[in-house]
């Protein structure tokens, strides 16, 4: 039984890594589509999101079967429950990349955020870096990566606050379309960072057994107000 | 064993109902705080969100214990896994209500959305109605309520599209602060509706065994682009 369990658990872990690899590609392409007003790249992200959703469904089904057939307890059980949570988080990271690509597509052939291009370049870099670290942490279970993800998230939070400061500082001259786009894009990036941290905390918990307040690192909490 | 399982499962169901009751209060008060520029109500929502988060953590812990001690299979297992998912969804509905309250608080003593007051009154009504139906469906498992939630969500989607049409139609004269607020508030309400539908689908699945494409009713999917 133990060997079967280990093999099935490995497959769950492989699925999570595969999802994270697709999320890296999605957020990288979405950002490049946004910054380069690249319609083809945006389309790729939108189409590829279905693959992420599909792995999530397979992974969830696999976890349910694993619970049913192996009835894991203690740490093993927590690994399976965490995998269910992390697959949902990765699926949402894919959705956020798709939303960014959808805005890039909607403004094509114009760039979506000419007034804050530098800010969104920095957001793109921090989000892509965080996604790569999520992939690395899920692959290796090395915890240094988890701490670095927190720093990427802090960068995203600061940039997010910066977009609001820019829009509300009294000198903002862009029209409503760009204001709407900046508001949504900034929020998507900020939440992408929250999700990355959520995964970092869950992996840390699985490795160390110590819960780094993962509930409060969930998406939505602590975001803009 | 079966009796213990049933008793524990009932407690999980009771927790979900309790969370949904708090979500009804949160979204109702948040909307009234927004429409009435009512600081005290906004504060109540922000403080009360911690109670929702706390029940979610208890419920998740209870589900993990239930899986460990009872090792449920088949339908019982799916009930527990669905409860885990629904508690996360209710927690996020509470977060969205809190975000609405935070914007109301941030603009106090001014109203946040003077230009689209009628729209946000209608969103408030539809979201509160959907939350009440979620509470009812979780309490009774009657499926008519689930279908009605889909209609509330459609109302929210249409209103959401309407806010974008209003802002981008060429006659929008509000400043950046209101544009940002309307963009975020509209998205919060639209997503609140998505979450309500996600719960409706999960309850429908549990009652009928038929999966109403719950994965695609998840938050984020199908939202604004």
Give the CA dihedral A173, B109, B97, A53, nearest 10 degrees: 0
Instruction: Point out the least confidently predicted range of A124-133, B4-13, B21-30, B191-200.
Output: B4-13
Which residues of chain B does A215 touch, with a Cβ-Cβ cutoff of 8 Å? 53, 56-57
The model's pLDDT over A149-161, given as tens digits with 9 standing for 90+, comes to 999 999 999 999 9
Q: Is A71 in contact with A28 (CB distance < 8 Å)?
A: no
**ipTM of this model?**
0.90
Q: How far apart are CA B157 and CA B17, in angstroms?
A: 25
Burial track A112-144 (b if 16+ CB lie within 10 A, e otherwise): bbebbeebbebbbebbbbbbbbbbbbbeeeeee
Q: Is B52 in contact with B26 (CB distance < 8 Å)?
A: yes
Instruction: Point out the least confidently predicted range of A62-66, B23-27, B156-160, B179-183.
Output: A62-66
Q: Which residue has the tokens 């804050």?
A: A116
Q: Is the pLDDT at B222 greater than 60, yes or no?
A: no
Percent of chain B scoring above 70 in pLDDT: 92
Mutate to test the interface with B, among A220, A222, A223, A224 (most CBs of B within 10 A): A220
Please choose, from the candidates A30, A77, A88, the residue with its C-alpha nearest in 3D space to the C-alpha of residue B80.
A77
Segment 148-187 of chain A within 8 Å of chain B by CB: 164, 167-168, 172, 176-177, 179-180, 183-184, 187
End-to-end CA distance of chain A: 50
Q: Is the pLDDT at A20 greater than 50, yes or no?
A: yes
In this predicted structure, what is the pLDDT of residue A1?
A: 66
CA angle B215, B221, B222 (to 5 degrees): 125
* Bond before B109 cis per omega within 30 degrees: yes
Q: What average pLDDT score do residues B84-109 get?
A: 97
Which residues of chain A does B96 touch, with a Cβ-Cβ cutoff of 8 Å? 220
In this predicted structure, what is the pLDDT of residue A215?
A: 42
Q: Is the pLDDT at A22 greater than 90, yes or no?
A: yes
Q: What is the mean pLDDT of chain A?
A: 91
Cβ distance of A219 and B92 shorter than 8 Å: yes
Residue among A67, A218, A223 whose CB faces B77 most closely: A67
Q: How far apart are CA B51 and CA A110, in angstroms?
A: 46
Which residues of chain B does A67 touch, with a Cβ-Cβ cutoff of 8 Å? 67, 77, 81
Q: How far apart are CA B53 and CA B30, in angstroms?
A: 17
In this predicted structure, what is the pLDDT of residue B207?
A: 83
Residue among A96, A172, A223 whose CB faces B176 most closely: A172
Q: How far apart are CA B23 and CA A35, in angstroms?
A: 39
In this predicted structure, what is the pLDDT of residue A74?
A: 85
Higher pLDDT, A43 or B217: A43
Q: Is the pLDDT at B223 greater than 60, yes or no?
A: no
Q: Is the pLDDT at B221 greater than 60, yes or no?
A: no
Q: What is the mean pLDDT of chain B?
A: 91
Task: Tell whether B50 lies on the interface with A, counting CB pairs under 8 A.
Answer: no
Q: Is the pLDDT at B111 greater than 70, yes or no?
A: yes
Length of chain A: 225
Rg (Cα) of chain B, in Å, rounded?
18
Q: SS3 string of B147-185?
A: HHHHHHHHHHHHHHHHHHHHHHCCCCCCCHHHHHHHHHH
Q: What average pLDDT score do residues A179-185 get?
A: 97
Task: Tell whether B99 lies on the interface with A, counting CB pairs under 8 A.
Answer: yes
| Chain B: residue whose CA lies nearest to A63 | B81
A2-217: CATH number: 1.20.58.220
Cβ distance of A215 and B56 shorter than 8 Å: yes
Mutate to test the interface with A, among B98, B205, B225 (most CBs of A within 10 A): B225
Q: What average pLDDT score do residues B62-91 get?
A: 92
CA distances A130 to A64, A135, A189, B127, Å, are 29, 9, 11, 34
Mutate to test the interface with A, among B176, B181, B202, B222 (most CBs of A within 10 A): B176
Q: Is the pLDDT at A225 greater than 80, yes or no?
A: no
The model's pLDDT over A67-103, given as tens digits with 9 standing for 90+, comes to 999 999 888 898 899 999 999 999 999 999 999 999 9
Q: Is the pLDDT at A180 greater than 50, yes or no?
A: yes
Q: How far is A145 from chain B (nearest CA, A)?
A: 26
In this predicted structure, what is the pLDDT of residue A3?
A: 86
In this predicted structure, what is the pLDDT of residue A190?
A: 98
Q: How far apart are CA B137 and CA B142, in angstroms?
A: 6
Task: Tell whether A1 lies on the interface with B, counting CB pairs under 8 A.
Answer: no
Contacts across the A-B interface (CB distance below 8 Å) = 99
Which residues of chain A does B91 touch, with a Cβ-Cβ cutoff of 8 Å? 218
Which residues of chain B does A106 touch, with a Cβ-Cβ cutoff of 8 Å? 225
> In which band, very low, low, confident or very high, does the pLDDT at B4 lie, cut at 50, 70 and 90?
confident
In this predicted structure, what is the pLDDT of residue B5?
A: 85
Q: Is A162 in contact with A119 (CB distance < 8 Å)?
A: yes
Enumerate the domain spans of chain A: 2-217
Q: Is B77 in contact with A90 (CB distance < 8 Å)?
A: no
In this predicted structure, what is the pLDDT of residue B220?
A: 41
Q: How far is B165 from chain A (nearest CA, A)?
A: 10
Tokens read off for B47: 């403080």
Task: Tell whether B206 lies on the interface with A, counting CB pairs under 8 A.
Answer: no
> In which band, very low, low, confident or very high, does the pLDDT at A5 lie, cut at 50, 70 and 90?
confident
Q: How far is B103 from chain A (nearest CA, A)?
A: 6
Q: Is the pLDDT at A188 greater than 50, yes or no?
A: yes
Instruction: Point out the least confidently predicted range of A12-16, A38-42, B4-8, B39-43.
Output: B4-8
């Amino acid at each position: 039984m133990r060997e079967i369990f280990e093999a099935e658990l490995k497959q769950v872990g492989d699925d999570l890594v595969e999802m994270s690899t697709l999320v890296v590609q999605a957020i990288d392409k979405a950002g490049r589509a946004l910054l380069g007003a690249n319609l083809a790249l945006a389309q790729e992200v939108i189409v590829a999101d279905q693959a992420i959703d599909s792995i999530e469904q397979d992974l969830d089904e696999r976890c349910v079967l694993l619970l049913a057939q192996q009835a894991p307890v203690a740490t093993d059980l927590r690994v399976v429950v965490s995998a269910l949570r992390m697959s949902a988080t990765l699926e949402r990271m894919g959705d956020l990349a798709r939303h960014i690509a959808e805005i890039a597509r909607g403004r094509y052939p114009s760039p979506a955020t000419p007034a804050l291009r530098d800010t969104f370049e920095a957001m793109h870099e921090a989000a892509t870096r965080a996604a790569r670290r999520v992939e690395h942490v899920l692959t290796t279970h090395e915890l240094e990566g988890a701490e670095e993800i927190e720093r990427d998230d802090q960068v995203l939070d600061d940039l997010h606050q910066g977009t609001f400061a820019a829009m509300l500082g009294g000198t903002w001259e862009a029209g409503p379309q760009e204001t709407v786009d900046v508001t949504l894009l900034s929020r998507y990036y900020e939440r992408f960072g929250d999700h990355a941290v959520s995964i970092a905390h869950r992996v840390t918990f699985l490795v160390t057994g110590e819960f780094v307040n993962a509930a409060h690192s969930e998406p939505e909490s602590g975001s803009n107000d």
